[in-house]
A and B are shown apart, each in its own frame.
Chain A
C-alpha cells in the first residue's frame, strides 16, 4: 500500500466563535482519489484552504511527505487548487490565465504554448485562447479553472466542487476526463463535492463530514452499504431510517414487528436506528411479507419505480422495477443482511461528535 502523502493531524479551526473544524485527523495516500463529502457549511472548503495554505489552522499540523508544511506559504507548496468560484483572472485572456503558473516558473515559450493547447483540448475548449473569462459561461469558466491548475502538473490537486456548474452530460464527460487525467499524470486528487453520486462514482476513498467532524471514512462501497450512523445513511443515497429496538442478537423490532437481522453485540432491548435502503425492500403478496402495508404514492423514475408504502404509520420508501398501483395491499420483506443497525445518538451535536471517536 502506498505511503501517506499528506497527513492532517488534529486540525482545529474557528472563525470568531464559530468552530468550523474540530480536531480533525485524516491522511491521504499517494495517487489516491479522496473525496470530501458533506452538506453546505460543514467545513470542506475551509479544510482545502488550510491544505492550500490560505488559512492557518488554530491548532494541529499538516505534514506533506513527512515534512511539516503548516506554516509554508501557498506558492511554496506542491499542490494546486481549482477554486469553488473559479477565481479566473478577468484581466487576462484564457491563454494568459492558463499560462500564469508556467510563466512564473519560467518555462519556455514553446512549452507553454504546447501546454495551453493540450489543456484546452482536454477541457474541450480549443480555440478559446484569446477570449476573456467574462465572455464565458459558468461551465466554461469552471473548465478553464481546471485547465489552469492542471498544466502545472502538481503532486496534489485540490478541487473544490469543480463540476458544480456543468450540466449532467458534460459533468459525466468531465468526471471521466478527470479520472483519466489523474491516472495519466499520477496526481493525487482531493476532491470536494456535495453530490453523493459523483463521490460514489469517482473516489477511492470518501470522507463524509458534518459540522466539522468526520462522520465516516471508507471506500464508496463501505460508505453506501455500511453507513456508521443515521447521518451518513441519510446523506448517501436515499434510505429509510426507522426507530427500532434490538430485542436480542440478530433480531430487531421495527415499528412493533420483529425482523431478523445480522447484527450482534447490542444491549438487550437497546433502542437503535435501523437503516434500510429503498432498493433492498421487496414488495410481495400481503401474506408473504413480514409487515403489511398499502401503496400510497407511485412515481416512474426511468430505471425503476419509486413507491411510498404506508405500513404501521410509517411511509416506507421503496425502489423496485415491479410496479404496484396506488391502493394495492402489499407485504414488506427485507433480507436480514440488508438491515443496518446503528446506535442511537442523544442529540445532534453528540451525533456529529460521536462519529469522530
Chain B
C-alpha cells in the first residue's frame, strides 16, 4: 500500500514545486503591495480603460478563433471518422505533424508569410494581384490562433465521433430519421463532450496568448496577455502583473464552470 503511494512521489514533487508554489506566489503578489500589506488594488488594475479594452479584444478574438476552429474542425472530424482506418490515421498524422514543430517557429513562419514584403505578398505582386495587408491587425492574430490551435479542436471531436457506435446511427435511421435529423438529434449531442473539451482547449490558450499577438500583431494590437507580459517584464511590477493574472484566471475558471454546467444540464433535454 505504502509502496504504491511512493509512486505518486515524483508527480507530487512536480506539482508542488511547479504548480502549487507558483500559484501561491501569484496569489501572494497579487494581493499585496510593495510593503507586503494586503490590498485589492492590483485586482482593480484590470478596470482601467486600457486594460478593459485589451481584455475585451482578447475575449472577442478568442471567441472568433474558437468559433472558426469549431466550424473547420467539426466537418473535418466527421470526414475523418467516415474514412477507412488506414486513410484516416494518415490524415490525422498530417494534422498532428505541425504540432511537432515548435509553436514559436510556426507563428514566426506566419509572420514571414504575411509580412508586407513576405512570401505571400511577393507572390501576389509577381502575379500582378492586389496584396493582402493583414499583418499587425487582429485578422492576422485570429489566423495565427486558428492555425496554432486547430488540432486541439479536431482531435477531441474526432475522438468522440469515432467512438459513437455505428449501430446507434443505424437505429436512428431505422426509426425514420433522415441523415440531417440523425446528425441533429443523435450525432451532435453525443459529440458534445468532445466539442466542449475542444472549445476549452482552444479558447483558454487564445484568451491568454501573448506570443501570437506579439509576432503577428506587432505592437499595434494589445491583448490582455501582452498587458500582463509587459507589466512583468517591462514594468517589473510583479504585484500588478499577478493581480491581473489572478483576475484572468478567475475569469477562465468561471467560464469553464459555466460550460461544464451547461454540458450536464444539456444532456438530452436541450436537443
Contact = CB atoms under 8 A, between A and B. Distances in A.
Nearest to B186: A89
Interface centre among A53, A90, A149 (most CB of B within 10 A): A90
Contact of A80 (B165, B174, B181): B174
A105 B173 contact: no
B176 A101 contact: yes
B268 A96 contact: yes
A81 B175 CA distance: 8
A152 B175 contact: yes
Interface centre among A80, A100, A132, A149 (most CB of B within 10 A): A100
Interface string B155-184: 000000000010110111111111001000
Given A90-B190, A91-B189, A91-B190, A104 B268 contact: no
Interface residues of A, number: 28
Contacts of B172: 89, 100
A85 B176 contact: no
A87 B171 contact: yes
A92 B186 CA distance: 9
Contacts of B178: 73, 75
A337 interface: no
A277 to B, nearest CB: 38
Contacts of B175: 75, 80, 100-101, 104, 148-149, 152
Interface centre among B167, B177, B189 (most CB of A within 10 A): B167
B125 interface: no
A89 B181 contact: no
Nearest to A74: B173
Contacts of A300: none
Interface centre among A54, A75, A83 (most CB of B within 10 A): A75
B170 A52 contact: yes
Nearest to B169: A87
9 contacts: A53-B173, A80-B175, A81-B171, A83-B174, A87-B165, A89-B172, A104-B177, A148-B171, A152-B175
Contact of B171 (A89, A93, A104): A89
A54 B165 CA distance: 14
Contacts of A83: 167, 170-171, 174
Given A93-B268, A96-B268, A104-B181, A87 B176 contact: no
Nearest to B193: A91
Nearest to A53: B173
B165 A73 contact: no
Interface centre among A92, A148, A152 (most CB of B within 10 A): A92
